[in-house]
Each structure stands twice: as structure tokens, then as C-alpha cells.
Amino acid sequence: METLRPDWPLLLVTSLSLVATLAFTLAFPMAMGAVFDLVRAQGGLAGGAAAPTAAAVGPFSHGAMAAPTSFQGVLLRLGACMVLSATGNALVAYLSTLLGERFGHRLKGRLMQIIMAQEQSFFDSTTKGDLVSRLTLDVQVLQATVADFIGLRGFRSLFEVLGALCLMCTQQPLLALVSLAITPLLSRLLRAVVVRSSAIIFRRQQVAAKALDFASERLSQVQTVQVFAQQEREAAAFAQLSEGALVLSRKYAFFQGIVEGTGRLAVNVGTMSLLGLGGMLVIQNKISVGALLAVNMLNVFISVGLSSAAASLGELGKAVGALERVAELVAPSQAAASAGSSEAASSSSETASSSGCSGSNGAGPSVLDGSSTSSTSSSRSTPTVAAAAQPEASISGRVELRDVWFKYPGAADWAVRGLNLTLLPGQTVALVGPSGGGKSTIAALLLGLYRPQRGEILVDGAPLPAAGEGGRGAAAVGMAAVLQQPMLMSGSVTQQISYGKPEASHAEILAAARAAHAEEFVQQLPQGYDTEVGERGHALSGGQKQRLAIARALLLQPKVLVLDEVTSALDVTSERYINDTLRHLAATKLIIAHRLSMVRRADLIVVVEGGQVVEAGSREQLLAMPDGIYRRFVSTAELGWVEGGLSD
């Protein structure tokens, strides 16, 4: 409804056109009856019953419209009704289709906005195919329903039925009784059919969405499908899923057939009954032939209108299903908000025990704040560290994670448990540790992609906004990131680099590309910076994509930069170059690295295992620890998680 509100002037014009069109449409049978009676009165139709008296000329002897007495006059009236009704119908169809389209357009935009504002956990639990089907299929259904219901069939048919019934009742009450007797029977039958078919349509939509979901997932993974030679199996599985929709469509078609058939039957039964009763009245000279004809036509309007309204209601059933699916997109944000507040409420009661929790298990180190500490320790004693060459604490870019606890939605265990970590302005902090230890989760939390269930994350003393929250996110507080698998969106190289700052000057883009060691390869592309890359563009290697992603982050001149295994796809020269750039970057850096070359120069190395900090300190400090985990991993062949770093 809210989405329709901006179009109220159009809605008003459509409604007025609809009413006017209805008036002309309903006037048509009467005009036709008038022609008939005049022809008969003037001797065109001889024989049978006596010609009606002058007073009976016109379809209804006491008709609302003054009956013209000349043949040209009645013909003109008939012609005017026809033209105006046709024009009105065309106008209503145009306006209501336009309304539907505008509604769909606005709804799609709004939904995209809502989807984009969701938290990462929402995307973890929803497939892209499902979202796409809501954005496309469901919105299409809704926009078609708006058009259909407002102008094409729904309201129009209902008004037509009501108008025709009223007209009949006021003009020929006896004949109207016939129609009134048939109408409830017909509408009851149609209602039963509509209820059944709506349920079928809803189920069919769910099945169709599942098939679409399946197709979009498999198509996005087509390389894997082909490498494992599973094309036929996947195609067969898709066909099977679509088959489910087909079976339901068959049932739906059956009910559509019943609607059609019942409608026709009603028209015929009504016509027969009216002709029987009306014919008798004509013979008794109680009504004119024209009146009988007009009543008969009005009855056709009623029957056709009813089955048309029923079909429209059937579509409405479809729309209800679509609306439910679309509404679900709006609900999670509200649900998340309330869940957030209840989490917050429960966290306050649990916070007291949480500190005890990290302390009691002996593995939860407390604050890793370089500013307040001077020695290295492992998890067995509270790790504290003095990072080499501490930058000024007053510079912005201070990030604090305070007793952060995070569990993925639906997961049984905490991915991050009671984490305390402070990144001082300008400091480079490297997170290392075994796979699954929680490094990427910490980075995601730091970027606001997930909200911790307990604890808080502060950037320069202010709480970190959740990604998507009112269009804000990490970038709004001067953070940028280069993630493990940099995805490029369709667009030119320039657009890739300037993604976070579309208004960036060419000079800024060039500087960022140079800093990310991307300039050389970009210049060799067919159209240089204008080359289309990304989804359907020029294919780039993993390392090239990585460098564009780094340039994209550097362009923002962030005060905090999060780098998740950025050098994994880089060649040695690029890596060295980028390391050099990063070293000179005046930003706080959180690095998740597998290569020791990245870790080595960090001011603070934090070993993360089981979602906790188990060891922290400068490289020298960690290597100096006799039984240190870092030292053990670096100096032995167990170095599974510091890939390629056997010799530090």
C-alpha cells in the first residue's frame, strides 16, 4: 500500500475512468434495447406480439435515460456508448498497467534496498536464487495483480456485476430475480474453486522458486559441475524440480477450466431462464422485446463479470503468496532488531559471568593493548605486549574489541569467545593461527558484517555501525578491506577501483592503481583503464583481481585497513611491492596472513585458536618464548597454518 501511495493521483484518475467506463458499458445494453424497440415500433419487426405502445419504447418503459425517438437518435446513442466504453476500457487498461509497472518498479527498488541493508547472517541463511526470485518473480506477480485488480478485471468485474444487478433490480425487478437466484450459486461455486486454486498456486510458486534457486546456484558453480562431469545429473535434477511445478500447474489448469466452464454454463442457464420468463412477459405485452434484450445482456455482464472476478481473485491468491515471500524480506530486519535487543538484555546478565568464563577456562587472555603493556605472554598467563615503534595514540584509527563473543546463526559453538584486542592507530596487527581458528570471523566482525552477541567494538571510541545499517557500515567510519576472494563487479577497471568513491578523480585512481602494483597490467589491457572486467568482462587472473581490490581499498585512504590473506594470489614481485606500500600506509592494519613475509613486519602478532587469543606479542617476543606456539610453528615442519614460511 505504501508503495502505491506516491501514485495516488494516477490511482484517482484510473478510478474515475473506471467509473465512467462502467457507466458507458452498462448504458450499452439499454441503448441496444432502445434500437431494437424503435425498429420494432416503426414496423421493422412485424408479426408475433403486438407492437409496444409508445410509452414502452425503449428497453425499460421507465428507463433512467430519456429514450430518443428517432432511429438516428438511438443509433447515435448506441454508437456513443460503444465508442466511449471502448475508449474508457483502453484508458483504464493503460492506466492500470502503468500503475502496476510503476508499483513493481518502486517495489523492486525498495526490496533491493532492504536486501542490501541486511546483515551478513541474513545472506548466510538465504540463497541468492531465492532473493533473485523474490525480486523478480514475486514482484512481477504483485505488479500484475495490482494492474489486474485495479483496472483489468478485479474491481471492474465486481463493479460491473453490482452495477448490472442494480440496474436490473430497479428496472425489471421480476427478471432481476432470475439473475439474483443464479448469482449466489455461481459465486459460491466460484469461490470454492478460487480457494482451491489459490492454494495450488501458492504451492506452485514455492516449487518454482526452489527450481530457480537450484538453477542459479548450479549455474554459479558451473565450473565445478563440468569438472566433475555432472551436467546431466544437474540438468535432470532441475527437470525433476520443475516437474513438481508442472504437476501443480496441471491441477491449476483444471480449476481454471472449471472457472471457464462454470462461467459459460451460468451465462447459458441465465440466458435460458431469462428468455423463458422474459419471453412470457413480452408475449403478455408487459415488457418490450428491447427490455428483454437489455436484461439479457446485463445478465451476461453479471455472469461473465463473476467468472472474471473469480479468475482475478485466483490471481490474488498468487499475489498473497508472493506478498508473503516479499514481506519476509522486510521482517528479518525487524526480527533482527528485536533479537538484537533481547540479546543485549541477556548479555547484560551474562557479562558478569563471561569474564569469569574466559578467566576460568584459562584460555581467555585479557586486553591486548600495546599502550598499556610491556611484556609478552601466552594464554596461560594474560598476554600483554609492547609493539615496536608505537605510533601516537592520538591519531585516529584506534580499534578496540572488548570482550567480544560471537556465534554464527544456527551454530552450536562460539566462533569468537571473549576476545579483547586493541589496535592502536597506525599499528599493524597480524592474526595468525590454524584454519578455522576464527581469524576471518574477527575480520568480519571488525568490518561490521556481523554483530557480536556480546561485547562491543569501538572505532576511535565510537561503536562500530553494523554493515548495511541505514546505508552506513565500516567505510562510514574510515575503514576499508581487501577480502580473501576479491570479487569484481561488472564495469571498467576505473569503476572497480573507484567503487567505494565513485567521485574519485582520474589522478586518484591512477595513484591507487600504482600503489597496488596494478598499473602495469592495466596498461596492457585492450582499453587500459576503460577495459570492461568483472562478471562478463575481460578475464583477470586471481592476482590481478587482488591488486584491483587493493587499489579499491587504498583509494579510500582508510584509517583502518583489514586485509584477509591478500597476498595469497600474488606473485613474489607484486607481494613485495604491495608489502612496501602497506608498510608506508598511515593506517591501522589488521592482517590475516599465511605468509610469514606479511606477518614478520607486524607490530603485533596475535595467535588465534578456537576463537580466542592464545598468544600475542612482537615477532621477537614470540620467538623468544621457549614454549611459544608461534615459535613452535615457525621452527618446525608443523607449520600448517603459516604456509611457505618454514624459514622465517
Report the C-alpha gap between 580 and 582 in whole angstroms: 5
Cβ-based nearer residue to ligand ADP, 552 or 594? 594
CA distance 555 to 141: 42
Task: Return residues touching ligand ADP (CB under 6 A).
Answer: 124, 408, 411, 415, 433, 435-441
- Smaller CB separation from ligand ADP, 294 or 605: 605
Residue 227's contacts (CB-CB under 8 Å, 6 or more residues apart) are none
Residue closer to ligand ADP by CB (options 241, 639) is: 639
CA-CA distance, 86 to 66, in Å (whole number)?
23
- From CA 518, how far away is CA 505, in angstroms rounded? 17
Residues sharing a CB contact under 8 Å with residue 263, sequence separation 6 or more, in sequence order: 186, 190, 303, 304, 306, 307, 308, 310
- Nearest-approach distance from CB 99 to ligand ADP, in angstroms: 41
**What CA–CA distance (Å, rounded) separates 563 from 583?**
13
Residues in the chain: 648
The span from the CA of 68 to the CA of 562, in Å, is: 85
Query: Residue written as cell 571510541?
Result: 461
Residue with Cβ nearer ligand ADP (435 or 524): 435
Instruction: Identify which of residues 325 and 439 has a Cβ nearer to ligand ADP in the complex.
Output: 439
Smallest distance, ligand ADP to C-beta of residue 415, A: 4
**CA distance between the termini of the chain:** 64
Helix, strand, or coil (residue 645):
coil
* Residue 54 vs 412, nearer CB to ligand ADP: 412
Least distance to ligand ADP from the beta carbon of 565, Å?
Answer: 8
CB of 304 to ligand ADP, least distance (A): 55
Contact, 443 vs 427, CB < 8 A? Answer: no
Q: Which amino acid is at 466?
A: A
Minimum separation from the CB atom of position 228 to ligand ADP (A): 24
Instruction: Give dist(CA 301, CA 172) in Å, integer.
Output: 16
Q: How far is the CB of 430 from ligand ADP (least distance, A)?
A: 13
In 221-288, which residue ranges form alpha helices assigned H by DSSP?
A: 222-227, 231-283
Residue number, 369 or 564, with CB nearest to ligand ADP: 564
Question: Judged by CB, which is closer to ligand ADP: 69, or 440?
Answer: 440
Cell, residue 205: 510458486
Q: Please report how close the Cβ of residue 465 comes to ligand ADP at its closest, in angstroms.
A: 21
Q: State the nearest-atom distance from the C-beta of 436 to ligand ADP, in Å.
A: 4
Min separation Cβ 454 and ligand ADP, Å: 16
Query: Which lies closer to ligand ADP via its Cβ, residue 413 or residue 503?
Result: 413
In the complex with ligand ADP, which residue's Cβ is closer, 317 or 433?
433
Three-class DSSP category at 456: strand
Pull the grid cell for residue 626: 621457549
DSSP secondary structure letter of residue 471:
G
How many Å separate Cα 25 from the centre of its chain? 41
Residues ≥6 apart with Cβ < 8 Å to 85: 21, 24, 25, 27, 28
Q: Which is nearer to ligand ADP, 35 or 415 (CB)?
A: 415
Nearer to ligand ADP, 38 or 599 (CB): 599
The H or E element that residue 429 is part of is: strand 428-432
Nearest-approach distance from CB 327 to ligand ADP, in angstroms: 25
Contact, 290 vs 64, CB < 8 A? no
* Secondary structure element (H or E) that encloses residue 206, with its range: helix 173-220
CB of 219 to ligand ADP, least distance (A): 22
Asked if residues 519 and 510 have their Cβ atoms less than 8 Å apart, the reply is: yes
CB of 642 to ligand ADP, least distance (A): 12
Residue 466 to residue 122: CA distance in whole angstroms: 13
Q: What are the phi and psi torsion angles at 500 (to 5°)?
A: -85, -10
Cβ proximity to ligand ADP: between 313 and 481 the closer is 481
Cell of 389: 615503534
Pick between residue 418 and residue 426 the one whose CB is nearest to ligand ADP: 418
Residue 400 dihedral angles phi and psi, to the nearest 5°: -125, 130
Q: Are strands 560-564 and 588-592 parallel, antiparallel or unpaired?
A: parallel
Cα Rg for the chain, rounded, in angstroms? Answer: 37
